[in-house]
Amino acid sequence: MAENLMDYMKKLEENSPRLFSAPEVYYGAPEDSLTIYFSGEESYAHRLNNLVTLLLSFERNTLVGCQVKGFRRKLESDGSFALNIQRKGKLELGLFFHMLAYDVSEVEPRNRLIELGQQAKGIEFDTEKLVPC
C-alpha cells in the first residue's frame, strides 16, 4: 500500500493499463449506471439530459461513449418497451438509444441519442447482470 500520494503515483506509472478493445460496456449495480466506451480516446462528460451523459473526445469533440444513469429503473418503468428490444436475455443497446430518442422533443438531444443508437448498433447487454431492487 502506498504511504503517500507520490508513492501512489509512482505505482500507477509502473503498471501499464490494460489494452482497450472497443466497445467496452460496464454496469454498476450500486449506482444503477451503464457506461459504454466506443473508443479509448481521452474524453470529457457532457450532460445530455437527466438520463444520459455523453463522453466526447477532447481532440475532435466526437462521441467516445456515454453513461446512462438509472438504467435498470428506465427499463423497468418502460416494461413493454424493454421487452420489445430484448432477445434471450440480451438487450440490443442500439435499439435502446433509438427508442429513447423518440421520447425527446428537442432536436439536438434527439440527434445525439440517434447517434448513440448508431454507435451502439449490434452491442448487446446481458440483462441478467441487472440487480433487482
Q: Where are the domains of the chain?
A: 20-70+77-128
What does the DSSP assignment read for 48-117?
-SSSEEEEEETTT--EEEEEEETHHHHHHHTHHHHHHTEETTEEEHHHHHHHHHHT--SHHHHHHHHHHH
Summarised one tens digit per residue, pLDDT across range 45-93 is: 999 999 999 999 999 999 999 999 988 888 777 655 555 555 667 888 9
- Is 63 in contact with 55 (CB distance < 8 Å)? yes
pLDDT score of 118 more than 70: yes
Model pTM score:
0.76
How do residues 5-60 score in pLDDT, each as one tens digit?
888 888 878 887 666 677 889 999 888 999 999 998 899 999 999 999 999 999 99
| Contacts with 127 (C-beta within 8 Å, 6 or more apart), sequence order | 75, 86, 89, 90, 91
